Amino acid sequence: MTALLPLTEAVAELIADGDTVALEGFTHLIPFAAGHEIIRQRRRDLTLVRMTPDVVYDQLIGAGCARRLVFSWGGNPGVGSLHRFRDAVENGWPSAVDIEEHSHAGMANRYVAGASGLPFAVLRGYAGTDLARHTGTIKPIDCPFTGETLAAVPALRPDVTVVHAQRADRDGNVQLWGITGVQKEAVLAARRSLVTVEEVVDELRPRPGATVLPSWVVTAVAHCPGGAHPSYAHGFYERDNDYYLAWDAVSRDREAFTAWLSQRLGVAPASERSERARQHSSAANASAERSEAGP
């Protein structure tokens, strides 16, 4: 039975320090509110997994939540670089982040293997590139039938996958539509899952094919309207492009970023945290984020 929980409780119960966590969403339905709650609850040493780490991962990395990043493309879509990600990789600020780098095709197949209960996936990928020289989780494999050399990549099995969706019912059946990315595979590959949703209804109106996740594969649902902002939720709201553009300036500068962290999420920078700051905890700030118009 899926638990219907407030976001603060869902994050507290499902995500622990040191976990491997995937927040998925391909431009559409990115679980920003859940990411911000992870920052507020000061999770540490996370292995963050995601095909397209964008602004929410820039924020998690800058806030010092990440120890490791497993990804295939890291940027601010349509704008430019992720400067907190670059600062961590290039300069180790606020702490060094190890990277495990793949291609989209490789990551997508790793989730498929995880969702399928297989140890690895096989694809025609990475050929002739330098990726396999630096990423230990890409290995050549010969087809036992044709002898063709292909690429093998291990299954991704996150401890927790977090996705955002349009709608769930009180039992935790989830409807999600539009660009569906790799969310279904990422949830099925994970040991635990949290789905934040725009709305919770008593009963889902039958829409053939719309229920992509039945309740029995979802650990928790959190009602979180606007939870994908500044990304978008098809049928609910558009992408807040101003936020992505404005993020470039915020993320370029460590001081501007720490001011953002403090003002918007009520979180002191990693280096200045005190017990007092820790007591100034998530509860007081839980509602602050949702009313935000921009970064």
Partner 1 sequence: MSHTTEEMMTIAAARALPDGATCFVGIGLPSTAANLARHTHAPELVLIYESGTIGAKPARLPLSIGDGILAETADAVVSVPEIFNYWLQAGRIDIGFLGAAQIDRFGNINTTVIGADYQRPTVRLPGAGGAPEIAASSKEAIVVLRQSKRSFVDRVDFVTSAGFGTGPGFRQRHGLRGAGPTTVITDLGVYAPDPATSELVLTRLHPDVTVEQAKAACGWELSVPRDPARTPPPSEAELAALRALKPSPKAAS
Among 32, 57, 93, 232, binds partner 1 (CB under 8 A): 232
Q: Beta strands 211-213 and 98-101: pairing type? A: unpaired
Q: Closest approach of Cβ 45 to partner 1, in Å?
A: 20
DSSP secondary structure, 216-266, as one string: GG-SEEEE-TTTTTTSBBTTTB---HHHHHHHHHHHH-HHHHHHHHHHHH-
Q: Which is nearer to partner 1, 217 or 265 (CB)?
A: 217
Tell me phi and psi for residue 192, to 5 degrees. Answer: -130, 155
32 counts as binding partner 1 under rule CB under 8 A:
no
* Burial environment of residue 61 by CB neighbours within 10 A (0 to 12, 13 to 18, 19 or more): buried
Among 33, 48, 123, 152, binds partner 1 (CB under 8 A): 123
Binding part of the chain for partner 1, among 56-64, 79-87, 154-162, 218-226 by CB under 8 A, reads 79-87
78 counts as binding partner 1 under rule CB under 8 A:
yes
Among 9, 142, 242, 253, binds partner 1 (CB under 8 A): 242
> In a 3-state reduction of DSSP, which class is residue 53?
coil
Longest Cα–Cα distance of the chain, Å, equals 64
149 counts as binding partner 1 under rule CB under 8 A:
yes
Residue 84 one-letter amino acid = R
Binding part of the chain for partner 1, among 118-126, 248-256, 259-267, 285-293 by CB under 8 A, reads 118-126
Sign of the CA dihedral with 115 first, then 118, 120, and 125 last: negative
The residues that touch partner 1, with contacts defined as CB under 8 A, are: 26-28, 51-52, 71-75, 77-78, 81-82, 85-86, 89-90, 101-105, 108-109, 111-112, 123-131, 134, 148-149, 178-182, 184-185, 232, 234, 238-239, 241-242, 245
